[in-house]
Amino acid sequence: MNKEKVLQSVESKLKLIYKNDYKTEYMDLLSELISKWEKANWMPNDPVTQKNVYLITYGDSIYESGVPTLETLNKFLQEQVNGVITDVHLLPMFEYTSDDGFSVVDYRQIDKKLGDWNHIQSFAQDFRMMYDFVANHLSKSSSWFQGYLNDEEEYKDFFIPHDENFDYSKVIRPRTSPLFHEYKGKNGVKTAWTTFSEDQVDVNPKSFSMLKELTDVILLYANKGASSIRLDAIGFLWKVSGTSCMHLKETHEIIKLWRILLDYFKKDTQIITETNVPHKENISYLGDGTDEAHMVYQFALPPLVLHTMTTHDSSKLTRWAKTIDKVSETATYFNFLASHDGIGVRATEGILTDEERKVLVDKVVENGGRVSYKNNTDGTQSVYELNINYFDALVNQAEDQTLELKIKKMLAAHSILLSFVGVPAIYYNSLFGSTNDYKGLEESGINRRINREKFEFSFIKEALVSDERRSKVFNGLKALLQLRQAESAFSPYASQNVIDLGPAFFALERVNDQTGEKITFILNVTAKKNDVTVAIKGTNILNNEIIDGKVELEAYEFAWIKA
């Protein structure tokens, strides 16, 4: 798209965002911003293929004494997973005051404990990088919010004070804390909208000055090496009286505005939206498949895989998976099983019953995990997420008693992740075969810390060799990833056809229409040997076994059958 068309498209989006409040000066100011970034040096991105595998990690997940942690993490990944992990998702790497990075003090300032922009850009020469843009809220310690409290003209509309004429009755909350908090201002008490906590103050993009700043930040990230940008909690961005203040049209138009600019400056920079909500709302961020997000988090996958491996019944996963296919040639799903957050269950609404969700809740508690709740508009509370390491979440105490079976189950769960249409993302604690971090949980009192363990460089390097659980999970996942990367049928844009082989199996077919390659995935989701008759001939690329109509699989065993 040439500049003239870009400017026309940008103006169209601004008019849709601001409607009657639109002013021509908005377009003039954004044109100036575009001209500024046209003077910068832009490095091109490569398109996403089946070779892309994301690692979700903190910038200080691996550390050494006296060394910037970004340097240590880069060194470790180059030594251990170079060529297997292609994309590194660095969770918020900026100065922050709470929530393990998600209360950003300055969008443009790297946390000094991690390093600086030079370390980030050096990292980006070795791996494709994914940065977190916590666009919905800032730390109360940020200079912007302090300017708001001090009644500085520049920041007067940057945040959202309580309004007696605003109808808040339908606002959706992921937290049990108050929607508004009071703060001591220069000229008295000021209030501000706080979706997540007293320290995380929602920004106000209804102020064009704020939207311009946010737009400048996302272009900065792309220019500083981001191949992907994750829009954290983006669904809460725009607020309108009498609505849920979630997924509003203006929020979608802002994302589309950013897509236009990223496509112009650095095509194939992936916008990835993080909206932990029911599936239909989640996929709305894909737009028409070409004009909004490139990927959406596949939030239904983690709890549905857990449900399947817990009950040994794939029926619900199979039924849901039949509704999922390729999106377009440029949009797809960001698939994961574990992350820095817990296992969200909201995405299972309309898929699992309350009784089926309770089975997972009870199992998580039995296996040493925690449960987090959200407030409902009717004053009740309901389960929001399950806080537990995914390895521990999978274990059925009565039957998964050997380490061998637990490891097989972990790899089996990830075989679904690696076979499903989309791009796979693996959390660092899953890759390392970790279990619940009770020390982190108890020291912090924060449920999510149970799966945020961090490691000294020499310790984890040695543990991945000497610790049987860690070694077998780590090497098992690496081997699967390497096999997957060689097969074009696993392209994120290849089609998917789910095959119903009964509750004991989960199966699907991936077909790349461009290359003609086809792979059939079959997993035994039970803890005992099973066989199934299928109209398939080919070779199981996992062990080179010839398949001709019958597949026999041991407990938690799976096959990738290439025709």
Which tokens sit at 436? 């619940």
3-state secondary structure of 170: coil
The DSSP element (H or E) to which 54 belongs, if any, is: strand 54-57
Residue type, 210: M
Instruction: Tell me whether residue 313 is annotated as binding.
Output: no
The label of the residue with tokens 């910038």 reads: 59
Q: With H, G, I as helix, E, B as strand and everything else as coil, classify residue 333.
A: strand
Contact 426, 415 (CB under 8 A): no
122, 427, 196, 257: CA torsion to nearest 10: 60
What is the pairing mode between strands 226-231 and 270-273? parallel
230 annotated ligand-binding residue: yes
- The answer to whether residues 52 and 130 touch, using CB atoms and an 8 Å cutoff, is no
Cβ–Cβ < 8 Å for 556, 405 = yes
Cα torsion angle, 152, 154, 157, 160, sign: negative
CA distance 120 to 330: 27
End-to-end CA distance of the chain: 40
Across 284-441, the runs of DSSP E, i.e. the strands, are 295-297, 332-335, 343-344, 370-375, 381-387, 423-427
CA angle 426, 415, 448 (to 5 degrees): 35
Can 87 be counted among the known catalytic residues? no
Say whether 181 counts as a known binding-site residue. no
Q: By three-state DSSP, how is residue 271 classified?
A: strand
Q: Does residue 340 have a known ligand-binding role? A: yes
Closest Cα to residue 246, out of 209, 266, 273, 225?
A: 273
CB 320 within 8 A of CB 280: no
Calculate ∠ Cα 202-208-213, nearest 5°: 70
Strand 200-202 relative to strand 180-185: parallel, antiparallel, unpaired? unpaired
- How many Cα atoms occupy the beta-carbon half-sphere of 208 within 13 Å? 18
> Is 137 labelled as part of a ligand binding site?
yes
Do 73 and 59 form a contact (C-beta atoms < 8 A)?
Answer: yes
Integer Cα distance of 412 and 407 in angstroms: 8
Q: Which of 60, 111, 232, 437 is flagged as catalytic?
A: 232
How far is the C-alpha of 77 from the C-alpha of 85, rounded, in Å?
8
User: Coil, helix or strand for 216?
Assistant: helix
- Which residue positions form the known binding site? 99, 137, 230-232, 340-341, 448
- Which residue positions form the known binding site for substrate? 99, 137, 230-232, 340-341, 448
Residues identified as active-site: 232
